[in-house]
Amino acid sequence: MEVRPNQAVDNSSTSPQQHRRRAAAAASKQPVSATNAVDTTSVTQRLQKELMALMMSSGDLGVSAFPEGESIFTWIGTIKGGEGTMYEGLSYKLSLRFPLDYPFKPPQVKFETMCFHPNVDQFGNICLDILQDKWSSAYDCRTILLSVQSLLGEPNPESPLNTYAAALWNNKEDYRKMVQEQYFGGKTLES
């Protein structure tokens, strides 16, 4: 029987977490993956199901969304301003970026079309509770789009991202003028 000297292993670039993972794998004789692989199959299936449901039902509601390019995790959505609101007759483009742990975390949703609104900043970020602390995995893309559409007509001026829009909200004539000016003046936001 040949005895080999113990070769030194350089663990200086190994994190404690990786070291524990390797030790556990060695103990159980399981292969070790270099990174934490994320199984996106269930997320992909969920998003495909949501896309089909949205395609079948939402055209009449004034909301739609489709994947942008090849990735199921990046969508472009469209919402139409609700009847009787300052946004009636206007159509807004949104980007939706779904995280790998969707639906347990909300997607990042932003206006890509300029939108003058108390709860939308100049970069298109949206202040909406269901996209933050009130998120539930029961929500889907359709719910998000309908909520943003509803927010257009019913802003929360108590939690503004755009303080000028919040202050102007009660002056309907001037507010409508600014909505039109922003919409027709700058069609798409810079990302």
Contacts of 179 (CB under 8 A, 6+ apart): 86, 87, 90, 116, 117
Question: For 39-140, where are the E strands, in sequence order?
Answer: 63-67, 74-80, 91-97, 108-111
Give the β-pairing of 91-97 and 74-80: antiparallel
* Cα–Cα–Cα angle for 137, 141, 145, rounded to 5 degrees: 120
In this structure, are residues 104 and 152 in contact, taking their beta carbons and an 8 Å threshold?
Answer: no
Contacts of 37 (CB under 8 A, 6+ apart): none
Are 102 and 46 in contact by the 8 Å Cβ rule? The answer is yes
Task: Please list the active-site residues.
Answer: 127
Sheet holding 108-111, edge to edge: 63-67, 74-80, 91-97, 108-111
